[in-house]
Structure 1
Amino acid sequence: MRHSIVIVDDHILIAKALASIMSNFENFDILYDCGNGKELQDKFSYKKNIPSIVLLDISMPIMDGFATSKWLREEHPQVLVLALSMQDDEKSLIRMIKNGARGYLLKNAAPTELESALKTITNNGYYYPDWASSIVFSNIANPPVDELPVEIPLELNDREIEFLILCTTDLSYKDISEKMLCSPRTIEDYKNRLCEKLTIKSRVGLAVFAVKSGFV
């Protein structure tokens, strides 16, 4: 299956370089590039311009990556957002995740990591390198006290919520089954059911959902 990509970056040379690199990736096609989120909004007026993935720079004039990712989450939730940044900034990472970004990549990443990120985000729904995953789980353990939970899109029962919260810990699935006093098979059923309900494909994705939804 082929996936279309749009690059949103105000640095023309970087955008063109990224397009050149990704043109060699199997099953990925570059549609076009934009200089900021407002240009992307204008392009999205035409259905043919809506891609599978938006490779989104954070620091841009007029409409930055934060505002753009939030708009995409609200208006085009089917589009996968892979954020790009010059720095491993914790606040930017968490904010982009909460605005709907499905992945985060530093601009100094090797082309092989970029290709891996694109494949992972299309196959699993999320991509976070090791350093980003550490920040995500640290934020889960110590959430800001002034944050309000987002609206839950559907009903979850008490046991599903309990499992979802335990997914944010470092417990193995076997440990979770012992803590919840049920079999590993039941835990697998909870995982599969939640992944299906929430359209999520990994434990990291479930953990991120738990944070964004205010369960932890």
Structure 2
Amino acid sequence: MKKKITIVDDHVLIANALGEIISNFKNFEILSICESGQVLMSSFEKGNIPDVVLLDVSMPIMDGFETAKWLKENHPDVLVMALSMQDDESSLIKMIKNGAKGYMLKNIKPDQLEKGLNILINKGRFFPEWASDKIFNSLLDDDKDAPNSIFLSDREIEFLKYTVSEMSYKKIAEKMYCSPRTIENYRDSLFQKLNLKSRVGLAIYAMKNGYGTE
């Protein structure tokens, strides 16, 4: 079954052109095209809920940041892929903090967009190399003064080691012989103790403090 996509962009011609391109992708179909975050909210209220929202960052009235935050708070299962003309670090990090699971530039080629969408669906996130570098550098800066005296339990440390791997949380749960819910508890506890908000942050902390995978 094809995954449904909603495009949110105030430039109607661009949005329609993007819709035509995506309509030719094997695994995706267009559910709706919205001109603003407010129109998207109305669409959701009518039950038109997609698997993925392709979200323009720069929009009047209700921009991409506000829209992403609303989606995060009200429809956290919907994957948000931000689309932007700019590759500045501040917009990238702000979109991620507001719940975006992917970030792509509007000058990408159709095959790159299709590849990115497939990775987003299969892995739950997609960031091209340039974006990953900016995220990594930003998190390193945020974490460079993290205290080393924080107490971590043996199980939290074991989980922390696995965050560096490519394993999903479900696979980590199997490896640690516990439930996915327990893994979520370890993750949330570490988020609070280390003042972090993402698995990338946990992985960077693990690497910086000598926790490697087994």
With normalisation by structure 2, the TM-score equals 0.73
| Residue 104 of structure 1 pairs with residue 103 of structure 2 | yes
Equivalent of residue 158 in structure 1, options 153, 162, 177: 153
Say whether the 8 Å CA contact 1:70–1:99 is kept in structure 2: yes
Partner Cα separation in structure 2 for residue 76 and residue 38 of structure 1: 15
Structure 2, gaps ≥5 residues long:
145-151, 166-171, 188-197, 210-214
1:41-56 correspondence to structure 2 within 5 Å = 41-47=41-47, 49-56=48-55
Matched AA of 2:74: E
Q: How many residues align?
A: 180
Matched AA of 1:2: K
Partner Cα separation in structure 1 for residue 109 and residue 75 of structure 2: 29
Matched AA of 2:153: D
**Residue number in structure 2 paired with 1:13:** 13
Say whether the 8 Å CA contact 2:173–2:180 is kept in structure 1: no
| Residue 189 of structure 1 pairs with residue 189 of structure 2 | no
Q: Report the alpha carbon displacement of residue 159 of structure 1 after superposing the two structures with TM.
A: 4.0
With normalisation by structure 1, the TM-score equals 0.73
Equivalent of residue 200 in structure 2, options 174, 194, 207: 207
| Residue 29 of structure 1 pairs with residue 29 of structure 2 | yes
Q: Report the alpha carbon displacement of residue 24 of structure 1 after superposing the two structures with TM.
A: 0.5
Partner Cα separation in structure 2 for residue 30 and residue 139 of structure 1: 34
What is the root-mean-square deviation of aligned Cα atoms in Å? 3.2
Say whether the 8 Å CA contact 2:85–2:106 is kept in structure 1: yes
Distance 1:45 1:208, change over 3 A: farther
1:126-137 correspondence to structure 2 within 5 Å = 126-137=125-136
Q: Report the alpha carbon displacement of residue 207 of structure 1 after superposing the two structures with TM.
A: 1.1
